[in-house]
């Protein structure tokens, strides 16, 4: 998937969350370890679900799971310990059993990273399940 | 609980596992973050269960859970990235619904940390459950 | 160290921070893994430092490090995914090269865990260093 | 980058490491959380460096850092707690300041995930630095 173009994202559901970089998330290079970004993306994505009226906790309780099937990340500048960063998450046009999200991580207007994920919706037995319509628009 | 005395540990079930310190486990001080030690203790404890004839995976599948109720750690010297460390785990005399373990973390004969944990055995509903006898001796 | 008694904590520097339990922090028992609590304690402790006028980031930059030498935790009730919890952190009477903190983790008034830590102040070479006075009161 | 084709990988430096899935790495879906895979990839990549004669610890000590600039992951099947998995890592043809690696994660012959990363070589000031030749072939 290429990076989302402007006209695609206009009017799409989106959210921006603030996260402070934890000491335990930083590595000997003095920057947030690259494995932490997926956790931040998940926080933003989950908050977006909540804004769309669906706590992921309740979704799971109802027997529907969203599984990460694909994740692409590009790291442009490091995030440092104690930085307050923002993670913007937007739902890309999606259909069927998949939801695509795109992300931007910023610190004070500076772009630190971009990412995209594809989630697949499954039931408790692992079978594909249509994404609840409220999550797509 | 005081530190295990020699005579208490003689003949007790024990194990020593080797772990290499991961880059992602180290922090800006260039040492393993203190929150990683509980993960290492758990690895040793789990391997000891396996040696005692009970994979924790199977225990959980049978509806019996071991929950950490107490954990004490003393950090004496840092573990560095890429260090190969050993974690020794020993079952202390325990009974009823609890198992007590003591731990020592070493790097090439140098003591890095000591710890003790208390696990409580519960069923899926959270009710206390006697510890399977095979785990205590 | 025994649990802090009321009269000891009165007037001591303290802080309460809110943390939302992340999905990645939860384990197959559906609760926050016990190794995550030390990370939450550190967040509260760091925020208290900041309130005391000293960002830990600046402290490290000045060549003074605070190293965890001891940590005791008691887990009473589980924290669940998406729970909003509070971590209360208080500086206990400390002196010399050590700072002692006590902690309580709550969810909506229910006590989930208590903890204490001892930090030791060192310089970049690892030598003991007096704790900056502003952190002790 | 497309997936490595067979003829590209023949004769390229590669390694396969074994990793056991830790309890703390698993989430409420009872599978390894997707943010753990980058940590496993790093373990394999680091072991490959070591086989190529260069411990990453020594590389960093010499003032040369390898920074993750890009990471793509495709998750095909879940890894479960206590699974023993293998991570195969191969150096793709690379030049200049970049190293490209491709990865496959298997459990007993079943492909669980594939990934690629691009590392950029920098010095301590963050300036681009040619990749040490011994790492490329």
Contact B86, B17 (CB under 8 A): yes
pLDDT tens digits for range C74-130: 999 999 999 999 999 999 988 889 999 999 999 999 999 999 999 999 998 889 999
- Test D28 with A60 for CB contact under 8 angstroms: yes
* A23 neighbors B28 (Cβ within 8 angstroms): yes
Give the residue from chain C lying closest to D22, CA to CA. C27
What residues are paired with A75 via a beta bridge? A113
Structure tokens at A36: 């932490």
CB within 8 Å of B122: residues ≥ 6 apart: B64, B65, B67, B97, B128, B129
Domain extent for B130: 6-135
pLDDT score for A3? 44
Contact C24 D33 (CB under 8 A): yes
Task: Please tell me the distance in Å from A8's CA to the nearest CA on chain D.
Answer: 22
Does the beta carbon of D56 lie under 8 angstroms from any beta carbon of chain B? yes
SS3 (DSSP) at A39:
helix
- Euclidean distance between the first and final Cα of chain B, in Å? 20
pLDDT of residue D1: 39
Q: Distance, in angstroms, between A102 CA and closest chain D CA?
A: 14
Answer whether A82 sits within 8 Å of C43, measured CB to CB.
no
- Whether A98 is in a domain gets the answer yes
Q: Could you say which of B35, B68, B73 has the minimum Cβ distance to residue C70?
A: B73
Task: State the CATH number of the domain containing residue D31.
Answer: 3.10.129.10
B22 and chain A in contact, CB less than 8 A: no
Residues from chain D contacting residue C81 (CB–CB below 8 Å): 28
| Inter-chain touch A74–D73, beta carbons under 8 Å | no
Instruction: Name the residue among D65, D71, D78 with its Cβ closest to that of A73.
Output: D71
3-class secondary structure per residue, chain C: CCCCCHHHHCCCCEEEEEEECCHHHECCCCEECCCCHHHHHHHHHHHHHHHCCCCHHHHHHCCEEEEEEEEEEEECCCCECCCEEEEEEEEECCCCCEEEEEEEEEECCEEEEEEEEEEEEEECCCCECCCCHHHCC
**Active-site residue, B27 included:** yes
Counting Cα atoms < 13 Å in the Cβ hemisphere of B80 gives 8
What integer pLDDT is reported at residue D109 of this predicted model? 94
DSSP class of residue D34 equals G
| Band (B8; pLDDT cuts 50, 70, 90) | low
**Do the domain assignments include residue A1?**
no
Torsion of Cα atoms, B127 then B131 then B132 then B136, to 10°: 170
What is the spatial order of strands in the sheet that D110-123 belongs to? A14-20, A84-92, A98-107, A110-123, A64-75, D64-75, D110-123, D98-107, D84-92, D14-20
Domain assignment of residue C1, yes or no: no
Q: Do B39 and D56 touch (CB under 8 A)?
A: no
Q: Which of B27, B58, B82, B123 is catalytic?
A: B27
Q: Is the pLDDT of residue A9 over 70?
A: no
Closest by alpha carbon to B31, among B80, B75, B73, B76? B80
- End-to-end Cα distance, chain C: 20
Q: Which residues of C8-20 are buried (b: 16+ CB within 10 A; e: fewer)?
A: ebeebbbbebebe
* A57/C43 Cβ within 8 A: no
Alpha carbons B118 and B72: distance in angstroms, whole number: 9
Separation between Cα atoms, residue C91 and residue C48, nearest integer Å: 9
Residue at B51 is within a domain: yes
Whether the per-residue pLDDT at C137 is higher than 80: the answer is no
Selection from B69-73, B128-132, D127-131 with the highest mean pLDDT: B69-73
Q: Does B38 touch chain C (CB under 8 A)?
A: yes
Q: Is the pLDDT of residue B7 over 60?
A: no
B26: Cα separation from own chain's centroid: 20
Instruction: Compute the average pLDDT of residues C13-29.
Output: 95
Put simply, the answer to whether D73 touches A75 (Cβ < 8 Å) is no
Least confident span in A24-28, A85-89, C10-14 = C10-14
What band does C3 get if pLDDT is binned at 50, 70 and 90?
Answer: very low
The verdict on a CB contact (< 8 Å) between A55 and C82 is: yes
pLDDT at D107 over 60: yes
User: Based on the structure, what is the number of domains in chain B?
Assistant: 1
| Residue in D43, D55, D82 closest to B22 by CB | D43
Query: Cα(C92)–Cα(C116) distance, rounded to whole angstroms?
Result: 9
pLDDT in tens, A41-80: 999 999 998 888 888 888 888 888 999 999 999 999 999 9
Q: Which residues of D touch B56 (CB under 8 A)?
A: 23, 82
Contact between residue D71 and residue D120 where contact means Cβ atoms under 8 Å apart: no
Give which of A23, A24, A28, A33 to mutate to test B binding, by max B Cβ within 10 Å: A28
pLDDT band of residue D7 (cuts 50, 70, 90) is: very low
Distance from CA of A90 to the nearest CA of D (A): 19
The neighbours of chain B, by the rule of 3 or more Cβ pairs under 8 Å, are A, C, D
In this structure, are residues C67 and C87 in contact, taking their beta carbons and an 8 Å threshold? no
Residue C113 belongs to some domain of the structure: yes
The average pLDDT across A87-98 equals 91
Q: What is the pTM of this model?
A: 0.92
Q: Tell me whether residue D11 is in a domain.
A: yes
Do D34 and A38 make contact, defined as CB atoms within 8 angstroms? yes
> How far away is chain A from the Cα of B31, in angstroms, using its nearest Cα?
8
Query: Do A113 and A129 form a contact (C-beta atoms < 8 A)?
Result: no
Has residue C4 got a pLDDT over 80?
no
Tokens of A102: 């795109």
The burial class, CB within 10 Å (0-12 / 13-18 / 19+), for C55 is middle
Tell me how close the Cα of A19 comes to any Cα of chain B, in angstroms.
Answer: 18
A27 touching B, CB under 8 A? yes
| Residue-level pLDDT at A132 | 84
The B14-20 sheet, strands edge to edge? B14-20, B84-92, B98-107, B110-123, B64-75, C64-75, C110-123, C98-107, C84-92, C14-20
> Is the CB of C39 less than 8 angstroms away from the CB of A24?
yes
pLDDT tens digit string along B81-96?
A: 999 999 999 999 888 8
- Which candidate, D35, D39, D45, places its Cα nearest to that of D118? D45
Chain C contact for D22 (CB, 8 A cutoff): no
Place D95 in a pLDDT band, splitting at 50, 70 and 90: confident
Contacts 24+ apart (CB under 8 A), A129-135: A129/A64, A129/A97, A130/A96, A130/A97, A131/A94, A131/A95, A131/A96, A131/A97, A131/A98, A131/A99, A132/A54, A132/A59, A132/A64, A134/A52, A134/A53, A134/A54, A135/A49, A135/A52, A135/A54, A135/A91, A135/A99
Average pLDDT over chain A, rounded to an integer: 90
Q: Is A65 on the interface with C (CB under 8 A)?
A: no
């Amino acid at each position: 998937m290429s990076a989302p173009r402007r006209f695609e994202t206009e009017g799409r559901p989106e959210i921006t969350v603030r996260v402070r970089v934890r000491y335990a998330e930083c590595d000997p290079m003095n920057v947030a370890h690259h494995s932490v970004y997926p956790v931040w993306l998940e926080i933003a994505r989950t908050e977006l679900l909540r804004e769309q009226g669906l706590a992921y906790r309740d979704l799971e309780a109802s027997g529907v799971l969203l599984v990460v099937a694909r994740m692409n990340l590009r790291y442009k500048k490091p995030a440092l310990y104690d930085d307050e960063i923002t993670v913007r998450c937007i739902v890309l046009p999606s259909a069927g059993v998949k939801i695509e999200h795109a992300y931007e991580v910023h610190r004070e207007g500076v772009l630190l990273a971009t990412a995209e994920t594809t989630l697949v919706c499954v039931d408790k037995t692992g079978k594909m399940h249509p994404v609840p319509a409220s999550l797509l628009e």
